[in-house]
A and B are shown apart, each in its own frame.
Chain A
Amino acid sequence: GAVVSQHPSWVICKSGTSVKIECRSLDFQATTMFWYRQFPKQSLMLMATSNEGSKATYEQGVEKDKFLINHASLTLSTLTVTSAHPEDSSFYICSGGGGLAGSTDTQYFGPGTRLTVL
């Protein structure tokens, strides 16, 4: 099946610093990548959708200047949390869709990155 990796799997940082999370599709080309955040015992909340080589589309209420998304290639997307604060602590999950993975509807999720901001 289609595999998506994320790095790092967990990160602890100080308030005010920036953190970059990488999302890679390992065995398929993801024409579209999605970034979600998930709070404990809650559902996934879509933050943004990105297509390779173009600007990300952010969901309403998501600060684009705070959550910078870059989709540099068909296998790599990055999320940078700038000037992180404790309220940004969450589980961030990416997914890749389209390309050789099969149906363009299918999204394959990464293992997630646990961000803790002190």
Chain B
Amino acid sequence: QQQVKQSPQSLIVQKGGISIINCAYENTAFDYFPWYQQFPGKGPALLIAIRPDVSEKKEGRFTISFNKSAKQFSLHIMDSQPGDSATYFCAASMEYGNKLVFGAGTILRVKS
């Protein structure tokens, strides 16, 4: 119940295309869903996050779509660029305790 399942494991997208990464969770007590971007040898950087009271959040080229009834959320990267090539992690937490449960990660490669 504490797991967050992330797919796909890896993704190759053409420059200018849309990258879509999906996550699913079981624990309905989760109420905070961030996405992190990690480059090799670096720590994860917070990209965008959402709470269950909204179904979509957009920041620049990055959009989170959230489906509370299906217990799923996804990251869409519009106009994907080679510089977006990185590993992306979804995560979830309950407000109390702040512990993040991470997905397995998606390696994104954007081909120029």
Total contacts A-B at CB 8 Å? 58
Chain B residues contacting A103 (CB-CB under 8 Å) are 32
Q: Please indicate which of the listed interface residues A46, A105, A107 has the most CB atoms of chain B within 10 Å of its own CB.
A: A105
Asked, given contacts A43-B89, A108-B46, whether A98 binds B102 with beta carbons under 8 Å apart, the answer is no
Distance in angstroms from B40 CB to nearest chain A CB is 9
Bound together, the chains give a CA A106 to CA B46 distance in angstroms of 8
Among B41, B44, B95, the residue within 8 A (CB) of A105 is B95
Bound together, the chains give a CA A4 to CA B34 distance in angstroms of 18
Contact across chains for A105 and B32 when beta carbons are under 8 A apart: yes
Chain A residues contacting B103 (CB-CB under 8 Å) are 43
Total interface residues on A, CB under 8 Å, equals 27
Chain A residues contacting B49 (CB-CB under 8 Å) are 105-106
| Identity of the chain B residue whose Cβ is nearest the Cβ of A105 in the assembled complex | B32
A104 within 8 A of B: yes
Q: How large is the interface on B (under 10, 10 to 19, 20 to 34, 35 or more residues)?
A: 20 to 34
Bound together, the chains give a CA A43 to CA B6 distance in angstroms of 11
Contact across chains for A44 and B95 when beta carbons are under 8 A apart: no
B43 within 8 A of A: yes
Contact across chains for A43 and B98 when beta carbons are under 8 A apart: no
A-facing mask of B27-70, CB < 8 A → 1, else 0?
00000101010000111111001000000000000000000000
Other A-B pairs beyond A34-B99, A103-B32, A109-B43, 14, CB < 8 Å: A6-B43, A34-B98, A42-B104, A43-B104, A49-B99, A93-B43, A97-B98, A107-B46, A108-B46, A109-B36, A109-B44, A110-B43, A111-B43, A112-B42
